[in-house]
Amino acid sequence: MDEGMFAEFDSVDALRRALVQLRHEGLHELDAFMPFPDHEIDALLGSRPKSVTRIGGIAALCGVTVGYGLQWYLNAVNYPLDVGGRPPHSPLAFVPITFETAVLLTALATFAAVLGLSGLPRLWRPAFEIDGFERASIDRFWVFVAYDDPRLERVRVRRLLASLGALRVIESSAEVA
Amino acid sequence: MSRWVRGDATAEQLSDQLLSPVWTPASRVWVAFVLLTGAGTLMLFGLIAWTMVEGIGLFGTNIPAAWGFAIINFVWWIGIGHAGTFISAILLLLEQKWRTSINRFAEAMTLFAVMQAGLFPILHLGRPWFFYWLVPYPSTLEVWPQFKSALPWDAAAIFTYFTTSLLFWYLGLVPDLAGVRDRAPGRLRRRIYAIFALGWSGSALAWRRFRIGYGLIAGIATPLVLSVHSIVSADFAITLLPGWHSTIFPPYFVAGAILSGFAMVLLLLIPARAVFRIHNVVTDRHLDVMAKMILVTGWIVLYSYVIEVFIAWYSDSEFERYQMLVARPFGPYGWVTWLAIFCNTIVVQLFWFRFARRSLAVLWIVSLLVNVGMWCERFVLIDISLMRGFTVSKWETFVPTLVDWGIFAGTLSFFCLLFLLFLRFVPFVAVYEVKELAQEPDDEDDDDG
């Protein structure tokens, strides 16, 4: 989903209006580029499976299992050491490390998931070649319609975007990319 | 315009204001401070090398006071880190918007403080090069770490805390690094920041994952921060020593940690705000709210002091009573006890008054005193307890050596050096969050009175 039509807007409100209209047109292969996150735009782009939370949750369960299992195996099975007659398998004493392992794995997995699912790190993408696109991280808002979208009629959508107040509409083609 | 961002700067102006320290040439003052703290850091590494070669006989520790400056500094530094996580994670979950301008700053403080803290237990091992024995790995010794001891808990807690703080900080930083990549003058600088920005494009789909992931890490960092100082306190609380063997320790340690951490944030933030002229983003209100946090945590600490003494008396144990009612207030380091009480509970009462919360001088001096006070508290707690144990024949007075002081001063330098580098090379305010906040309408509930 790299090639398509890019339209630049100068406010988040204009971006929202444009997305509403594009959704109304039945377009689905949409994305937006903006300097800060926005809840309404998340909603406009449609709900996606919450993979990040799922990956984090699985990592947490793995952490609990590995953390507890390791302590139990090492201290109670593989090499039990009698210290003052305390039981080799003492669940309460194993809680802190179990918790820490769970947190550690969750944090690592979440971090990797946020970047990995978004295809990062990826230092270059075709959009970066658009002149002025760098302001997407400062104060400009871009809408993207992928060419893969079966409902895309280029001329109509181009005109629609212009009528919605787009500062400019740029079609990225293989040559630009 | 939100009440937490003053003035009517546009998103572009805010970006330029907050990102430009990264590409503005360094001032002479900055260079001078870097050289000064760099020298202190070299001294730290020199003293560490000496300690490795000579052994910890260079420290003032001995029997019975086997835990000295190394452990005091460890507890103190790691406590300071806690306010960073508190500001960035707990206040994020509570949707406290004022955290926005200071969270990155506070998170950096956390990272650097935890780095200092981490040095001490390793040095204090005596043979620091065997620190990896705390990690369960299959070795020819065939003996595993003893997980029923609080020390492997400590190792796990500190490592997890550092890693999670680093990931949280870096994740939040990625969009702003992309901002520097797109805005900074000069090809080389853009390229360097482009690598660290990982190719962040500001895609809404990526933002969505970013927000979920950031919230998730904040969610797990919240119990984490409470667990870290609780585990540190367990190093003491699970022993039988009078003054240590107490169930109030975990919440008591966490409250003290957040108190000293907020004080450290103010200590660093007030000069940084003046130097970089970011009064529109870090407003007097931010300082005011932090002063209130110091007051609140100061009261929790005060409550803990009272309960500690009360329980010692109520326990009817002569050792506990002696420790709390004689050794601490009137023993050889009695003045340190009183200094701790004065700084942590009496001085902070100034923050009941609005003028004190709004006066930069008062804020800064109180913050300094709180940090001194919290260090004294750790000293009292650790060393006076060890100096006055069960057996009178073992009573001995702990005297720190110059190496102890030197290493402590060295970590202060190292901390400041890292902070100066951070202010120069990293956007130290979360710019994207400030821009998001600035375009929101003002809150209805203006409770500032």
User: Which runs of consecutive H residues, i.e. helices, occur in B55-186?
Assistant: 69-85, 91-93, 103-124, 150-183
Contact assignment for B167 to A93 by CB distance below 8 Å: no
Q: pLDDT digit string (tens) for B345-396?
A: 999 999 999 999 999 999 999 999 999 999 999 999 999 999 998 989 989 9
Contacts of A45 in chain B (CB under 8 A): 204-205, 208
* Beta-bridge partners for A146: A4
Separation in Å, CA A33 to CA A136, A174, B398? 6, 20, 61
Q: pLDDT digit string (tens) for B407-418?
A: 999 999 999 999
Chain A residues 145-174 within an 8 A CB cutoff of chain B: none
Contacts of B212 in chain A (CB under 8 A): 50, 52-53, 114
Question: Across residues B239-260, what is the average pLDDT?
Answer: 90
Q: pLDDT digit string (tens) for B315-353?
A: 999 999 999 999 999 989 999 999 999 999 999 999 999
* Residue-level pLDDT at B448: 46
From B364's Cα to the closest Cα of chain A, the distance in A is 33
Contact assignment for B198 to A123 by CB distance below 8 Å: yes
Q: Is the peptide bond before A121 cis (omega within 30 degrees of 0)?
A: yes
Q: Is the peptide bond before B64 cis (omega within 30 degrees of 0)?
A: yes
Return the SS3 of B203. strand
* Residue-level pLDDT at B344: 93
Contacts of B231 in chain A (CB under 8 A): 96
Domains, chain B: 11-137+144-438 (1.20.1630.10)
Question: Across residues B131-155, what is the average pLDDT?
Answer: 87
DSSP class of residue B88 equals I
- Which residue of chain A is at minimal alpha-carbon distance from B220? A103
Asked whether the predicted pLDDT for residue A173 surpasses 70, the reply is no
Neighbours of B14 (CB within 10 A): 25
Contacts of B162 in chain A (CB under 8 A): none
Which residue among A45, A74, A101 sits closest to B205, beta carbon to beta carbon? A45
Chain B residues 222-251 within an 8 A CB cutoff of chain A: 223-224, 227, 231, 234
Map tokens 């360097």 to a residue: B192
pTM (predicted TM-score): 0.90
Mean pLDDT across chain A, nearest whole number? 84
Asked whether the predicted pLDDT for residue A49 surpasses 60, the reply is no
Q: ipTM score here?
A: 0.90
Question: Across residues A92-114, what is the average pLDDT?
Answer: 94
Map tokens 């660093």 to a residue: B268
